[in-house]
Each structure stands twice: as C-alpha cells, then as structure tokens.
Structure 1
Amino acid sequence: MQKTLTIFFLLTSLFFSSTLLAQEQRMPSGDFSKMRKMGVFKVTEIVNPLTVKLEDGRFVHLAGLNFADLNFYEPGDLSITAMHILDDFLKNKKVTLYQTKNSDHGRKNRMDHSIGHLVRTDNDVWVQGLLLSLGVARVRTTPYNPEMAKQMLRLENTARQAKSGMWNIEEHAVLSPKEAAKHIGSYQIVEGTVNSVSMRKNKLYLNFGQNWRDDFTIAISAFNLKKFTKQKLNPQQWNGKHLRVRGWIESYNGPYIDIDHPERFEALFEQKSTMKNSQQPPDKPAPKKQQNNKPRKKDPGSALPVFND
C-alpha cells in the first residue's frame, strides 16, 4: 500500500511538473552537434527504464542516465515511475537516434544493445533531458559517452533546485564527504571541499578530510589524467576547491571513488579558504553549508561545469 501511494504521489507531482514545463515551452531539447545522427525509428516496447525496443528489433540503452532505485528484479518507485513516463511518451512514437561519433567505442554495450540518445521526432523533445528535468533520473556518463554531459548536468541541477521527483526525497540527496561512508557499494553524488592533493604510485588522490586513511577520497590514474589535460584541467591544483563528484563508492582507506573521465566532476564555486597548500589544514572544521543569497563567482581556473545551487 505504501509503495502504491509513493508512486501515486510521484506521478502526480511529475504530472504537474511536466504540465508546467509544457506551458512554459521548456520541454527539454538538446544540441547534438557532437553526436552522429543514426536515423529515425519507431519505439515498440519499453523494456526497462534504461532500455527501449525499436521496430527493427534492436534495443537501445539510454546513454548517460542512472536510476537510484533500479533493481531489475524489484524496481523501486522512481524506476517504475520512469517506466510509466516512457510508456506514455515513447511507445509507438518515432524517434531520432543519436550516437557517439567514435565508431570504435561507445555505440554498443556488452549485451549488444545500441547506446544512444533519443529525440521524439514530432516535438523534438530529448528523452534523457525529459527524465532528468522531471527528477526521476540522475546523470551517469561513461568515458565513451561524455558528449552530452554538460547539458545533462544543467538539467539535473535545475530539477534539484526545484525539488522535482527524487530531489524531494531525503534518501536521494547529494551526500557530504562524511556521509559517503554510509553508502559504500552504491552510485552516489558527493559534494565537498578538497582538503589535500597528493600523487602516489602514479595515481592522483584528492582527499576531502584531514586523515586520508579514513576520509572520503577521489583517485585519478595517470592514464585518466591525460583526459583532464586534453580539456585544459589540472586536478593537482584543486586543493581548497569545492567540487561535486559522482561515481561508485568503494571501500579503500575509507569511502573512495575512482574517476575515469572529467565529466564526473562539477565545480560549484571558488571556496573561500585560508588553505594555501596540501600541508596547511584549515584553522577550524568547515561549517555546515548554509543558504547564501550572494552571487557566487565562477572559478576562473577551472573549465568544469559551474553551478550555483
């Protein structure tokens, strides 16, 4: 009964959200100039929140999305709600399929499903953008499909500010570094200030606490650092920076996320701090995040997406 009520309230909330989006002509569309248009196809079946079947028999995996409660044997409220949305919005509709321009990687998953973005042809609404705008999904890019990350993160942040869907449910909130330890073994979004940066055994570590042995840590291999360099990013200079990062939390000297591409990061704002290097700790523990109506400045030293939510 409780599960039914939760889904009912989610659907009701999302109905009003989608109605408002339509009234304000803000149904999400995307800029696919970095993608390759593969053709127009008819959707015949919604297999799960991440997979649809086309008329020609192929399956399409919706790139760049994560559902916080997706369990293929027992899907949660958000996943079920997403299924209802997709069924209503896509079934028997024609869509344009966009895929990465790299024909060697990123077009097929291990199940031989096509990986891509879908746009309904009759109204130009971007399917992934719709799910993010309604707050039933969050962003999860891969190294081979990062092209739409900035646009997707922008939509996710707008939904979070509006407390749409999952962003109005406490268990799906963005975590602090201290909270990360309670969520080992799951995909999460963590936000905090880098306390120290160090390079050990050909790997860069960004620590979010004063004790690297048990605090929240991000790691980037030397191989993956090259991807940051290509985008003119230097994580070695991020000490004292306030970041949002997403990924699978593992246990390795405390909660730990291994980052394999730059799109897993967002720069929130330039953190006011007295820290000058990784050896100098802050004078006192950072206070709890509070509402601040003053405009935040974009960090001029970072090319990461910047959001002020």
Structure 2
Amino acid sequence: MQEKTVNQKVSLPVLTEKQVSLTIKREDLIHPLISGNKFRKLKFNLIEAKKQGRDTILTFGGAYSNHIAATAYAGKLHGFKTIGIIRGEELSGKWEANPTLQLASEHGMRFRFISRDDYRKKENPSYLKKLQSEFGSCHIVPEGGTNTLAIRGCEEILTPGDAYFDVVCCPVGTGGTLAGILNSAFENQLILGFPALKSDFLSEDIRNFALKENWKLITEYHFGGYAKVTAELIDFVNEFKQKTQIPLDPVYTGKMVFGILDLVKRDYFFPKTKILAIHTGGLQGIMGMNILLKKKNLPLLSV
C-alpha cells in the first residue's frame, strides 16, 4: 500500500467565479479496501496488537460498515484472525446477500450478530471483558476504529506540503480523523468538520482527542442522518464524478463536498481561500448503497 497520497485540484465554474481553490487529498487511492482513514486508523492498532502478541482483532460495525470490510482485509494481510460484532441480530442467516459482509467473510472475518440493545454496550468495560473471555486474548478496536492509536495514524494525513492551504475540510463520523488532522494542522489553518450524522455529542468527543482549538463543525449537510441520502445528493455525487473524474461516497465525502461547494456559492469563504478536502475513502460501500437505493426507487450511484 502507498501511504503517500496525491492532492488533486478541482476545476469547476463556481470556484473560478468565487476565486476559491479546492484541492482533494486522494486518500481513497491508498488501497481499494483499506483506504483513507480506515487505513490510517488501523495502522498503529495492528502494530500494537502484534507488539502485544495478540493474534485476533475484534471490532464493531453495522451491516454496511467500511471499517468492518477494511479490518477483515487488513487482518488477513497482516496475519490476524478477525471478528466482527455486527449490529442487528436479524442479519444472522441473511448476511450473504450483503456485499460488505460477504467481502469481509471472504477475507476471513467471523461474525457475531447481536441485538441493537446489546450493541449499545459496545463501550461497556464489563461487556468488553465478556467478549475477551469468550474470544480469547484479542485486540479490541472500537466501532469506526477511533481510539488513541487511530488518532496517531490520522495525524499522518497532512504533510509539510499541505501548509499551503488556508482551510482543511474533513468528513466526520466518530470524530477521530478530524482530531488527528487537528493535531497535525498548521497554525495558519482552519479545520472544518462535516458530520455525516445528526449528533450533539461530537464536539465533546473531538475535544477528548484534539490538542488545538482552530476547528469548527459545519452541521447542516448530514442529509437526514447517518447513511441517509436523497436524490439531490445522489445526483450531485454522480455529476461531480462526471465533471472531475473523482468518485465520492454518499455517506461521508459526498456530503462534505456538497457542503463545501454550497458554502462557496454562499460566499462563506473569502476570495483567494485555498481549501484542502480530505477524501476518506469508503467507495467499496457504494455497491451496498445501490441495493438500498434500488429498494427505495431512488437513482443509483455511478460505480
């Protein structure tokens, strides 16, 4: 895998009109499955697991979790067994029809499907201890991969050459990627996070890991909540790919780029502002998303 990623400049009429430059850091090109922040978050967790002599990685996720797919592949690549604690006991016996879980299974991951009530215990120490006793001495990675080791990995996203940019934008799920970027950001930069879900607790979570205060959450582009999409968002993602040749995922990066360009239209940024947007990968989930979109009679995403 190639850890160093390219910065790709975007050319669109609205950017020229408003005299704002937008560049996308193509973290999605690190690897087809372990891409973007998934790779960054797992890197030091795998190093630590090996250091501690653990042979199994256990983690949590939903049915279409990119983190689940990435953990399965990374585990196979680096010689770990992997276990996925999956939200939704109704998936037991039906998961073969799910492209994300099927992919994870092909790379050796074993699943435990649990109720949503039990899933809420995923950070409860006694519940984690119970899993440890059941599955043996495994290295537990939280849902979405965010812990102190993950933050350390995300601190490697920005490079010295990125000091050129005035604003750095990042999609936000659990807040770990944003915290890592904040910790390595340059003094002149404003860091904007675009949450993909409705949440009142993200700011507090980010402050638990972040060392700086030069950041802000832009909360009006979640399109209804986590993994919620609309025909408007789908059309935007498809059109953006057609115009720029850059694919976006609808859960995270699509919402962020939609938000950035809407803010540009509304003169949120001063002329001459140089924006860097972090592409956090997640493209493998498009196939699963299209299955859901088809059921809802919504337009499909270009693959």
Q: Same fold (TM over 0.5)?
A: no
**Of the two, which has the highest radius of gyration?**
1
TM-score by length of 2: 0.27
Give the strand-richer structure, 1 or 2.
1
TM-score by length of 1: 0.27
